[in-house]
Structure 1
Amino acid sequence: MGYLFLSIAILAEVVATTALNASQGFTRLWPSVITVLGYGIAFYALSLTLRTVPMGIAYAVWAGVGIVLIALVGAVFLKQQPDLPAMIGMAFIIVGVVLVTFVSRTGAH
């Protein structure tokens, strides 16, 4: 269940961060509302994750996957194309998340 809640936390954070960009400094109502609600859901789901997943593992996965997903949203929807070093860095992040989640016994589910 912990990794299900972690997935919800990650998706809510990605939606919230995308809306934050659209809120234009909290000057647009609906993107601002989505931002606040999204981060609220993300932190609540993360708190539920921490019942069964170690904090360091949960945060590492949340941050790593969130970084990569936000970069993908930026590339696909906002035409913010990462350069080669950024893509290589994100590939390292993905490798790290896979190692932490599926190989390390620390994050065993």
Structure 2
Amino acid sequence: MKAWLLLATAIAAEVAATSALKASDGFSRWVPSLVVLAGYGIAFYCLSLTLRHIPIGIAYAVWSGAGTALIALIGVVAYQQKLDLPGMLGIGLIVAGVLVLNLFSRSGAH
């Protein structure tokens, strides 16, 4: 359970860092730039701890899939980016793939 909490923390930190990356304006704004550096540092540290308990393929699929979906949502809400039907379908397929991997695959078994 602790490993999944660490993975959720890694995802949250990566999403915060990626969101701040846009706000950093090419690292020309200090505060968002510091959020980027701290966020990615926390994300990779927590991911590295997660990998002690969760297989790398599973952890990375969850991390990247959840991060992709959350960043797309933030883009729509915070940056007024448009997400068309093919984009929503693609993100849905990514989430579905992560769910199938975790719920039905034996890849995560130790």
| TM-score of the pair, normalised by structure 1 | 0.95
Structure 2 unaligned runs (5+)?
none
Tell me, in whole angstroms, the C-alpha distance in 1 between the residues paired with 2:103 and 2:36.
31
1:104 Cα offset (Å):
1.9
Query: TM-score, normalised to structure 2's length?
Result: 0.94
- Residue 44 (structure 1) aligns with: 45
Partner of 2:106: 105
Q: Is the 8 A contact 1:101 1:108 kept in 2?
A: no
Shift of 1:108: 4.6
What is the identity, as a one-letter code, of the residue corresponding to 2:19? T
Instruction: Tell me the residue number matched to 1:53.
Output: 54
Identical aligned residues as a percent: 56
Corresponding position: 1:78 with 2:79: yes
Q: CA deviation at 1:100?
A: 1.4
> Deviation of residue 82 (structure 1)?
1.0
Match of 1:35 in 2: 36
> Take 1:57 and 1:65, find their aligned partners in 2: how far apart are those partners?
12
Q: Distance in 2 between matches of 1:102 and 1:36?
A: 33
For 1:88 and 1:37, the matched residues in 2 are separated by 32
Residue 105 of structure 1: how far off its partner (Å): 2.5
Equivalent in the alignment of 1:21: 22
Please give the root-mean-square deviation of Cα atoms over the aligned residues, in Å.
Answer: 1.2
In the TM superposition, what whole-angstrom CA distance separates every residue of 1:48-101 from its partner, at most 9, and x where no partner exists?
100000011111111111000000000011101211111000010111111112
Mark the runs of 5 or more structure 1 residues left unpaired by the alignment. Answer: none
Counterpart of 1:33 in structure 2: which amino acid? Answer: L
Query: What amino acid is the match of 2:13?
Result: A
- The runs of at least 4 aligned residues of structure 1 exceeding 6 Å deviation read none
